[in-house]
Amino acid sequence: MGYASNGAGRAAHEALLARQDAELRLMETMKRSLQAKMKSDREYALALSAAAVQGQKMDKCEELNGSVIASAWRTMTEEWENTSRLIKANAEALESRALDRLITLMTERRKARKVYQEDHTKISSQFTQLSEEVQRKQSEYQKCLESYKQMRAKFEENYLKCPTSRGGRKLDETRDKYGKACRRLHRAHNEYVLLLAEATECERALRTASLPALLDQQRRQGEATASSWKGILVEVVQRSDFSTDKFREIQSKVESTVQNLRPQDEYKEFMEKYKSPPSTPITFNFDESLVEDTSGKLQPNQLTVDNLTVEWLKEKLTELESSLQENREKQTALQGPEIIGNGVCKNNNTGMTNGVNGIDRHSPPPIPVTTPEPMKLLELRVSERKCAKQAEMIRAALAELGCEEAPSGCPDLSAEVVGVDSLDGSSPDHQDGASLGSKASMDTLRLHLHSIIPPKPFFRLFTRPFRRKSVPSSPALPPKTYRSSSEGPSDSVSVSETERSLVDQEWFHGVLPREEVVRLLRADGDYLVRETTRNHARQLVLSVCWGQHKHFIVQTTPEGHYRFEGAAFPSVAELIAWQRASGVPVTARSGALLRRAVPRETWELNNDHVQLLDKIGRGNFGDVYKARLKTTGQEVAVKTCRVALPEEQKRTFLQEGRILKQYQHPNIVRLIGIAVQKQPIMIVMELVSGGSLLTFLRTRASNLSSRSLLAMCRDAAGGMRYLESKNCIHRDLAARNCLVGDDNIVKISDFGMSREEEEYIVSGGMKQIPIKWTAPEALNFGKYTSLCDVWSYGVLMWEIFSKGDTPYAGMSNSRAREKIDNGFRMPAPEGCSEDVYALMLRCWEYEPDKRPHFHQIYTIIDTIYNR
């Protein structure tokens, strides 16, 4: 450092202390920065791992077998996972090595600074003591000199007074004092001389030996600190280097995989596997039953030209010709000026003649398929073909008519249907006129009129038949039912159905969430009505399966009636009944028809049938009650969902019921039903007499034997074995979420966090995660599998044998997590056998693949129990 010989001054000393303080501040800054880097690296590793897992979800897609793109993508995501592990390992190495070394270096540097300051202060104090000693000795010398001078003067004075005898008592006394003063002076002189020599040598020693040695020691310590510091920086550089061999190997593997992709092999295996002959053309045939009752006026596959349709046909032809012209212009723009029509060149001698806008009048143009062309061009040609075919049919129909007047296509109905009132029974006395025709024609007319004229209460349509004239033998409309001509014979609407309240309708599913509704609607025409809340207002929604799931809000008129696009009705039941019976789409745009009402499932209960008795607990979403079913008198447990919760949380609440409804096992709490007809939503389950396992263990387990505790563990393992076979991950297995029934049987409960997947990735944070029960891979990477439940099961076993103690007692969540990552495992509870504790340790293996599955756990515990 160069200050051993030139840095002995006070200014250099102060500068050195300031430099050491600055070094310590720099170390502290580096420490905070490294901690932030390690945190960001861990978070990046976690995010990268989550991205890799997300990307690997397509691995199990059988449709992609043989895809070289999927294979390359799989390799890429696997290498992302490897990169994530490498980054995480580097971050942990930085923490365990570089950061620890830096902290140790800071501690040593503080100690060295303190020792230097103490040694320098000691040397400085020695300089000060020497100076003070010399000053003191000099003062003594001065005093002795003054005393000597006084005694000498007195002696000379007395001596001069007695020159003859040179004696006398007074002279002797004076001589004696003078002698003493002379001796003191000489002694002080000698001491002063010796002290100066000592001080000179001491000063030289401190200045040329001690202080340089101290400074030289600081230089060596500083160099050693810098060397260690450099080592730490080298470690940081190495752990932050993405160009190391390991990273380059990963990148090289990904690059080579992608570069070696052969696009021509992408569909090779797929085409070999799914070789098949060309598909059979689909034939569209006219349904001749549609024209059976038209008295021959309408013919299958023929356009009808009469006074009702001729103007429309002419307008339609003009519209089609305009579309064809526009289509040709678009094709020309795509292909170039030399291409017209269907790709036929202008100079083609066999080109189209006698055509309108370049389109053959008599045959639709072919669609070329030999040359690959843009999809937009192909779409235009398909559209052109459709328009040309329709134009050809209309021209042919109009050509047959020639110059003759169009025949009448509308019979005089004035004598057959007196008025609209006869349709709903308000004018039953009209009996004049000819018969309208077949029953199908009358039904069709009735539906048409009701679609354009606001009807009277819908049930009147079903209780009063049409009044027909001179057709006494023709059966009237049945008084109790009405059946749509487009539906099967079993799909009818009864008067009792329209008169029942909305809650009593089997197709009303209350506040069942949209996700649950979608699972119920499977075939086109399936429908149900549900209730939802939007902007704090209650709305009724009609959900229909029609190609996809469609949801229509039931509109309310100012008069309090209900409608969609057509007529309004006094009740939702009448609106739905008419909509189904008429065969009219719910909306013209959707085209959705109502064909089959989806009734409530057996597990959908009526809220009014559940009588709440006593509050027995509180959950994340609401209170838990002891209740009674009014229909059977059975006592049950009911979880309620607070009305004010957001829809997302209500869906999460119902998820537990959706999962439980399909499970039947003695060690799984049984679902009785879900009440969603109105708020609050309720999950109704069997009432388990013993309550929470955790409370049971803390209050009553003192009297239980080890064999009884082992039986509880076996019950829990049996329930979890069943869930594992169903690919259900519980994610919150703990004593607080188990119940104790008769004969101390344990039942798994609380499925609010459960997921029906082989693997589940959390991406929304860890706020609700029970840290001390959760496996390390779930905490570090958000990855859940059934083996995470195995870790939690090990903690549950520990809770059972410790009779309700708190796991990792005295540790915070973060401290427990840190110690687990460092290899700590809870000791065996008192009275726990070695076999049982060995199973706990197997459940707590850090690597998931080393843990046993639940069918193995059950076998082990059953063997120990029966031993």
DSSP-derived secondary structure letter, 545:
E
By C-alpha distance, which of 587, 589, 625, 591 is closest to 607? 625
Q: Strand pairing partners for 508?
A: 529
Is 493 strand, coil or helix? strand
238-241, Cβ contacts within 8 angstroms, sequence gap of 24 or more: 239/90, 239/91, 239/93, 239/94, 239/98, 240/37, 240/90
Q: Which of 732, 742, 821, 862 is catalytic?
A: 732
Cβ–Cβ < 8 Å for 232, 101: yes
By C-alpha distance, which of 807, 808, 857 is closest to 835? 857
Cβ–Cβ < 8 Å for 529, 543: yes
How many CA atoms lie within 13 Å of 443's alpha carbon, on the beta-carbon side?
A: 18
Residues 6+ apart with CB under 8 A from 557: 563, 568
Is 674 strand, coil or helix? strand
Residue 256 and residue 72: Cα distance in Å, rounded? Answer: 10
The reply, when asked if residue 57 is annotated as ligand binding, is: no
Q: Strand pairing partners for 855?
A: none
Residue 723 and residue 716: Cα distance in Å, rounded? Answer: 11
The full DSSP string for 165-219 is T---HHHHHHHHHHHHHHHHHHHHHHHHHHHHHHHHHHHHHIIIIIHHHHHHHHH
Task: Based on the residue annotation, tell me whether 59 is a catalytic residue of this protein.
Answer: no
Residue 134 and residue 198: Cα distance in Å, rounded? Answer: 10
Two structure tokens written together for 8: 């002995």
Cβ–Cβ < 8 Å for 694, 529: no
The reply, when asked if residue 621 is annotated as ligand binding, is: yes
Is 624 strand, coil or helix? strand
- In this structure, the chain runs to a length of 867
**Pair type for strands 604-605 and 783-784:** unpaired
Cβ–Cβ < 8 Å for 570, 457: yes
The reply, when asked if residue 619 is annotated as ligand binding, is: yes
CB atoms within 10 A of CB 521: 20
Residue 225 and residue 233: Cα distance in Å, rounded? Answer: 12
The reply, when asked if residue 620 is annotated as ligand binding, is: yes
Two structure tokens written together for 599: 């009734």
Return the HEC string of 762-829: CCCCCCCCCHHHCCHHHHHHCEECHHHHHHHHHHHHHHHHCCCCCCCCCCCHHHHHHHHHCCCCCCCC
Residue 596 parent element (H or E): strand 596-597
The reply, when asked if residue 618 is annotated as ligand binding, is: yes
The reply, when asked if residue 617 is annotated as ligand binding, is: yes
Residue 714 and residue 84: Cα distance in Å, rounded? Answer: 38
Residue 255 and residue 217: Cα distance in Å, rounded? Answer: 54
Q: Report the Cα–Cα distance between both ends of the chain, in Å, rounded.
A: 75
Residue 538 parent element (H or E): strand 537-546
Burial, 560: exposed, middle or buried (Cβ in 10 Å; 0-12, 13-18, 19+)? exposed
Residue 442 and residue 419: Cα distance in Å, rounded? Answer: 13
Residue 219 and residue 164: Cα distance in Å, rounded? Answer: 78
CB atoms within 10 A of CB 324: 22
Amino acid in the structure at residue 761? I
Which residue positions form the known binding site for ATP?
A: 616-624, 639
Catalytic residue numbers?
Answer: 732
Which residue positions form the known binding site?
A: 616-624, 639
